[in-house]
A and B are shown apart, each in its own frame.
Chain A
Amino acid sequence: MMQQTGIIQERYHRQVLLKEFGEQGQQRLAEAKVLVLGAGGLGCPALLYLAAAGVGTLGIVDFDTVSISNLHRQVLYGTEDIGQLKVLVAEQKLKAINPDINILTYPAKLDTALCLELFDSYDIILDGTDNFATRYMVNDACVLLQKPLVYGAVSRFEGQVAVFATDKTAVNYRDLFPQPPVEGEVLNCAEAGVLGVLPGIIGSMQANEVIKWITGMGEVLKNQLYTYHALYNQHMTVELSVVEENRKWMPKNEQEFLSTNYEWLCGIGVDAKEIDSKQLEALIAQEKLLVIDVREEGELPAITGVQHLKMPLSGLKEQLHTIDADTVVFICQSGKRSLQAANWLAEINTRINIYSLKGGVLHWKTYKQ
């Protein structure tokens, strides 16, 4: 036993040497329980450093398996791991790095029920997820359950980090961006690309915030948003403040949280029907058809070959109640804004047949040529 304690002390010697950290810091880490959501680009570096530093209990949630396009940034995995569950490979690799810690794996898709079930038994949550639906769900769960959340996100060459604390003056993600963008409005890594080392930097920063939070060293990014640009080494920290009005978008209790469909809020699996140009042409014959262009003033090309109204998306919500027809088709440039418009109208009107033109004006132009 004495010998094992000696080895443990030696393992952490270089950080225990730091007077701000010391044996007390090590003890606090050993007693801490950290839940890492997503074992991807952000989760991998975060997990590596949290495990190496000696966080006593690490929970890992991820339902995905390793694929070859993960490997340029998800540094826990190798070519031989392709096809394996990420949480299981991660557990094995982290155990090899530090056998003294407990690792709990949850190979499941995070939903509202699982948030409520899991978060309570952890001290702090690290968000390394890769989509808005999950991020808003995690944010709301942490606010409801009073759990500190270390947020990190990446896109192309840029990253964001913030700590959402739990006291009354603490901001959360809704204070920054009250409502999620719909699917397609903001491109994800698969669509926009990401430099492999970037999540390495941002995920490591998240691990650093977690370690500071647990040990009480220094200052965390509470009520601040840190942004980093890898191409120019530019960084900026902006101050955030509580926006009371934004809080109305959040579920007020666990019951409301459980019944919130976060994917739907992000326009995933929505009811609005998409039609293609051929179907639109068929609809044009209908008498009470209303076609609405939701692009902003001045956007080209103009829509030809079909009568239409212009209602830019930026002012559409105020005009929704004026829309009256049997059938409405929304059109935009590529079919994403029109889908959002269709969903907005569907929320307040169940009588009208509502459609969004898939592929937008660009598809229509090609079709009509």
Chain B
Amino acid sequence: MELQITIFGQLTDITGSSNIRIPAVSNTDELLAALKQQYPALGTAKFVVAVNKKIIQGNTALAANSSIALLPPFSGG
């Protein structure tokens, strides 16, 4: 089982793609740890995590079909 994650903005410079897959984990803390191991530069990047189209606060349970997105701030105008 894998989770699919949508990557926004300049975070794709780190992940190389706007859609990445990682082996299934059960919550967002584990997800972030796995992502930071695979992409160390995510450790210092600023972004928020959306699960099922809601910005999460704190650790959140994930299901196999959860939609996950990493959204960075940007300021261009």
Contact = CB atoms under 8 A, between A and B. Distances in A.
B50 interface: yes
Contact of A153 (B18, B44, B57, B74): B74
Contacts of A227: 8, 71
Contacts of B54: 238-239, 241
B76 A132 contact: no
B76 A192 contact: yes
A52 to B, nearest CB: 21
Contacts of A298: 40
Interface string B21-53: 000000000000000100011011010101001
A225 B53 CA distance: 10
Nearest to B75: A132
Contacts of B46: 177, 181, 185-186
Given A227-B8, A227-B71, A154 B77 contact: yes
B10 A176 contact: no
How big is chain A's contact interface, by range? 35 or more
Given A225-B71, A236-B53, A237-B53, A130 B40 contact: no
Interface stretch (A38-46, A86-94, A253-261): A38-46
Contact of B77 (A38, A177, A181, A297): A38
Interface in B57-72: 57, 69, 71-72
Contact of B74 (A38, A160, A314): A160
Nearest to A189: B76
Nearest to A340: B44
A87 B44 CA distance: 38
Nearest to A42: B77
Interface of B: 6, 8-10, 18, 36, 40-41, 43-44, 46, 48, 50, 53-55, 57, 69, 71-77
15 contacts: A130-B75, A130-B77, A135-B75, A154-B76, A155-B10, A156-B9, A192-B10, A192-B76, A227-B8, A236-B6, A236-B50, A236-B53, A296-B36, A312-B44, A314-B44
Top 5 A-B pairs, shortest CB-CB distance: A155-B74, A189-B76, A130-B77, A296-B40, A314-B43
Given A199-B77, A238-B69, 20 more contacts: A41-B76, A42-B77, A153-B76, A158-B8, A176-B55, A180-B73, A186-B10, A192-B10, A192-B76, A199-B76, A225-B55, A227-B8, A236-B53, A238-B50, A239-B55, A296-B36, A296-B43, A296-B44, A312-B43, A314-B44
